[in-house]
Amino acid sequence: MSTLRPPVLFPLFAKVTTLPGIGPRLVKFVEKIAGENVVNLLWHLPSGLLDRRFSPKVGDAPAGKIATMVVEILAHAPPPPRSKVPYRITCGDDTGKITLVFFRGERDYLERMLPVGEQRVISGKVELFDGRRQMSHPDHIVPLTQIDDVKRVEPVYPLTEGLSPKILDKAVRAAVAKAPALPEWLDEAYQKRHGWPAWHEALRAVHTPANEPELLPDYAPRARLAYDELLSNQLALALVRLKQRVRRGRRIAGDGALRAKVMAALPYALTGAQARALEEIVADMGSETRMLRLLQGDVGSGKTIVALLAMLAAVEAGVQAALMVPTEILAQQHFETLKPLCDAAGVRVEVLTGRVKGAIRAELLADVAAGKVQILVGTHALFQKEVDFADLAFAVIDEQHRFGVHQRLELAGKGSGTDVLVMTATPIPRTLTLTAYGDMDVSRLDEKPPGRMPVDTRLASLERLDEIAEGVQRAVKTGGKVYWVCPLVEESELIDLAAAEERFAHLKAVMGDKVALIHGKMKPAEKDAAMDSFSGQGGAQVLVATTVIEVGVDVPDATIMVIEHAERFGLAQLHQLRGRIGRGGKSGTCLLLYAPPLTQTAKARLETMRDTEDGFVIAEEDLKLRGGGEVLGTRQSGMPEFKLADLMAHGELLAAARDDAKLIIARDPNLETPRGQALRTLLYLFEQDEAVRTLRSG
């Protein structure tokens, strides 16, 4: 954490244990629901409310309602020793009586809280039992002087087991009381137009809702806080990108000669979408600013060739390009696809993975450092320290959802000013790309290459395994090629393996040499052998695999995909797997085998797979079925999660925050004006310290 945080924020970045009632025992629960600092409690907004303003006489209190009443304590009736009967206390006023009921009530405590002959304020739900009024475990019991504290609309906060509402309420109130007034960072006209209060007032308002509408995302104080959060996010991204852009100052512009040679060697023409995307990428490379572009295209839309042509544009300009992929198999396969095309253009492409070792590795690294290798394909091994490019100017990351934020950051740090293209088959909604990358440019391949055949997807119970194995055998006899994917067991890779090996043995007994096995634990050479045998002619026709084949593998004449325990896979994963077939002009069949009985949701998910091949529809459906919480595996993909903003409700505010951030950066890139200073406070408030650091290091 930075030491340059403005002192006005210090109380908010103190530990929650500085709040009343939060001792060492409770701190872990508070950390669990909110966070370790006071500021985290400010962001813990109420999800409901309890109206305690209703304050009838005892004789008028209706059953089922929450009432706050002034009563005199009349008599205690402790239970006989060792009995299960509750402790009862009779209270009343001049209109009637009510019994307070305490299960396992402690006598000392109750006598102290509710001494006979005195008056107290009690608040809780009134019940009728045997025609008499009672209240079990009142929510509040306080002296008359504190009646105003109780007689109010009480916010209800999301809780966790071990934390009582009363304690959390008190802690949040104390946190809000510690919040200072802060200089205004919003544009005055924009704030006025929305009728938004100042930050401090907004904060107080969201924690004291008076009615249900004030709990909604469009309640002005809530919307303001959401905007603050989004603005801090967009401003931070804009600052980081500004710094990256400033660093750069070269254009990569090739003459098109190598691209022309490769196009001539291709057995097909680019689709309109591919040509458009390539044009956009090449234009980015030719501009002064640093490129960060996302190429989004469903499985099989032909991203690889677009990447190759873009890399050739870099090679034409005399610089190096790299293609990073998530698995060794995929690296090998991409290399094999690219090699003949590069040969046709006289370009040297090599592959670097963890398995390239010893003298060969040393020689390869030397050639990369000398600039003799123009295109390098590889796994994340590419970005290790020992890999020293002569002049890496363009990097492509394939299937980016498989890489963590961490790896992406590492990449950004390799060659400063490297243009970056990330490719993904995961349809990330625009709002999410915006929050993860700021104003990242996006190219879409929204058109598939011609000759794509539909895949017929069917669901079948695992009980029909034998029948399915026979079907596969028939297909193999007529020359078909089949992927057979074995279940993923998360707890143990060994069990995965055992399942795959058992299936392999089973199918081999029936079909002999026509069956090959591939999994992540095999030696590289064994993997290659299995892959070669399956992709070539006259070799294996059934490839039994764990999910190592999930991403990007291309064997065009494979037409059948069997997936065991399909219910255990994510929809995106199933979609990726299914994308392996129906590629070579022959229609495909995908069999999703499940273990009955299926839950409602599992059934709905598999039916979605059966009913559509559209990646966007599948992603949306996945989102709906999984509920709002986890959007498209946002956790893995490093998308930020917001505490105050709700992207479904505040999408428009996000767009406004982006424009606002752009304008701020254009006018006051170092945040030096009075508003700029206030914005620095905003960045610290939302812990965007990283972004503030870019200001100083300039």
- Range in contact with ligand ADP (rule: CB under 6 A) among 27-35, 269-277, 361-369, 587-595: 269-277
- Choice between 72 and 336, CB closer to ligand ADP: 336
Cβ atoms 426, 619 nearer than 8 A: yes
Using CB under 6 A as the binding rule, whether residue 531 contacts ligand ADP is answered as: no
Chain centroid to CA 317 = 37
Number of neighbouring beta carbons within 10 Å of residue 368: 22
Residues in contact with 289: Cβ distance below 8 Å, sequence separation at least 6, in sequence order: 245, 248
Q: How many CA atoms lie within 13 A of 644 on its CB side?
A: 28
299 binds, among Mg ion, ligand ADP, none (CB under 5 to 8 A by kind): ligand ADP
Site for ligand ADP (CB under 6 A): which residue of 408, 519, 583, 658?
A: 583
Q: Is 268 in the site for ligand ADP (CB under 6 A)?
A: yes
Shortest reach from residue 425's CB to Mg ion, in Å? 7
Nearer to ligand ADP, 73 or 561 (CB): 561
For the chain, how far is it from start to end, CA to CA, in angstroms?
19
Binding range to ligand ADP, per CB under 6 A, among 218-226, 236-244, 267-275, 687-695: 267-275
Closer residue to ligand ADP in complex, CB, 40/301: 301
- Residue selected from 78, 96, 556, 651 as contacting ligand ADP according to rule CB under 6 A: 556
How far, CA to CA in Å, does 281 sit from each of 306, 312, 412, 439, 502?
9, 12, 18, 16, 47
**Which one of Mg ion, ligand ADP, none is in contact with 270 (Cβ closer than 5 to 8 A by kind)?**
ligand ADP
The verdict on 327 binding ligand ADP (CB under 6 A) reads: no
- Is 554 a residue that touches ligand ADP (CB under 6 A)? yes
Q: Are the beta carbons of 320 and 287 closer than 8 angstroms?
A: no
Could you say whether residue 270 binds ligand ADP (CB under 6 A)?
yes
Nearer to ligand ADP, 224 or 575 (CB): 575
**Given the complex with ligand ADP, which of 285 and 323 has the nearer CB atom?**
323
**CA-CA distance, 73 to 76, in Å (whole number)?**
8
Q: Tell me if 301 contacts ligand ADP by CB under 6 A.
A: yes
- Residue 616 sits in the site that holds ligand ADP (CB under 6 A): no
Closest residue to Mg ion using C-beta atoms:
552
In the complex, least distance from residue 387 CB atom to ligand ADP, rounded to whole angstroms: 24
Binding segment (CB under 6 A) for ligand ADP, from list 76-84, 293-301, 557-565, 657-665:
293-301
Picked from Mg ion, ligand ADP, none, the partner binding residue 669 (CB below 5 to 8 A depending on kind) is none
**Tokens encoding 584:** 């070579």
**3-class SS string, 309-326:** HHHHHHHHCCCEEEEECC
Nearest of 359, 365, 548, 304 to residue 350 by alpha carbon: 365
Residues contacting residue 373 through CB under 8 Å, at least 6 positions apart: 320, 348, 349, 350, 364, 367
Quick check: helix, strand or coil at residue 588?
Answer: strand
* Selected range binding ligand ADP among 5-13, 276-284, 298-306, 609-617, rule: CB under 6 A: 298-306
Report the partner that residue 274 touches, choosing among Mg ion, ligand ADP, none (CB closer than 5 to 8 A by kind). ligand ADP
Q: Is 263 in the site for ligand ADP (CB under 6 A)?
A: no
Interface residue with ligand ADP, options 304, 435, 443, 457 (CB under 6 A): 304
Query: How many residues at the interface with ligand ADP, by CB under 6 A?
Result: 18
Q: Does 400 bind ligand ADP (CB under 6 A)?
A: no
Q: Is the peptide bond before 597 cis (omega within 30 degrees of 0)?
A: yes
Which of helix, strand or coil describes residue 99?
strand
Contact pick of 429, 449, 640, 651 for ligand ADP (by CB under 6 A): 449
Is residue 305 close enough to count as binding ligand ADP by CB under 6 A?
yes
The angle subtended at Cα 327 by Cα 323 and Cα 333, nearest 5°, is 65
For residue 148, what is the enclosing H or E element?
helix 147-150
- Residue 296 touches which member of Mg ion, ligand ADP, none, C-beta under 5-8 Å by kind: none
CB of 302 to ligand ADP, least distance (A): 3
Residue 410 burial (CB count, 10 A): 15
Residue 326 lies near ligand ADP (rule: CB under 6 A): no
Phi-psi region of 338 (alpha: psi -120 to 50; beta: other; left: phi over 0): alpha
Tell the burial category of 441 from Cβ atoms under 10 Å away from its Cβ (0-12, 13-18, 19+).
middle
Residue ranges binding ligand ADP (CB under 6 A): 268, 270-271, 274, 297, 299-305, 425, 449, 552, 554, 556, 583
